[in-house]
Amino acid sequence: MTDTVFGKIIRGEIPCNKVYEDEKVLAFLDINPLAEGHVLVVPKEAAETLDLLSDESAAAIGRVLPRLCRAVVAATGVKEYNVLENNGQGAHQAVPHVHFHIIPKPNSREGLGIGWPARGLEREAAASLARRIAGAIA
């Protein structure tokens, strides 16, 4: 696991606009927000992608994420928002340390823009795929 800018922020080596901290989680304002109130929620555990994160850190993130969303809504007055978590460069992850974005969506110009190239689901292939994924859950 390489050190990242978020590791440096967690260790206090570089500053951030902190909004929340507990034993396992740190949350702060994104330095290049897509909208006012864009917050990053980061486990202190240095896992690169979500599939590598421990259950303990995942639980700590899950416990606090809705509370942080409520706080962002209350502080910005913007009721609509996206929660985004990118994994891997090809999936737009720039910092290889797990982080959840909370991104207010005040209007059609600001906030997250989403491409959603949906396609159909073939019945038999879907059943087989669902079985494969279910069987792979550790």
User: Annotated catalytic sites, by residue?
Assistant: 99
- Among residues 10, 16, 35, 78, the one that binds ligand 5GP under rule CB under 6 A: 16
Q: Among residues 13 and 122, whose Cβ is nearest to ligand 5GP?
A: 13
The residue type of 7 is G
Residue 40 or 41 with smaller CB distance to ligand 5GP: 40
Q: Binding of ligand 5GP at residue 94 (CB under 6 A)?
A: yes
Per-residue x/- track, 21-60, ligand 5GP (CB under 6 A): -------xxxxx-------x--------------------
State the minimum distance, in angstroms, from the CB of residue 100 to ligand 5GP.
Answer: 9
* 1 or 129: CB nearest ligand 5GP: 1
In the block, tokens 């994994």 appear at: 87
CA distance 125 to 24: 40
Q: Does 123 bind ligand 5GP (CB under 6 A)?
A: no
Count interface residues toward ligand 5GP (CB under 6 A): 13
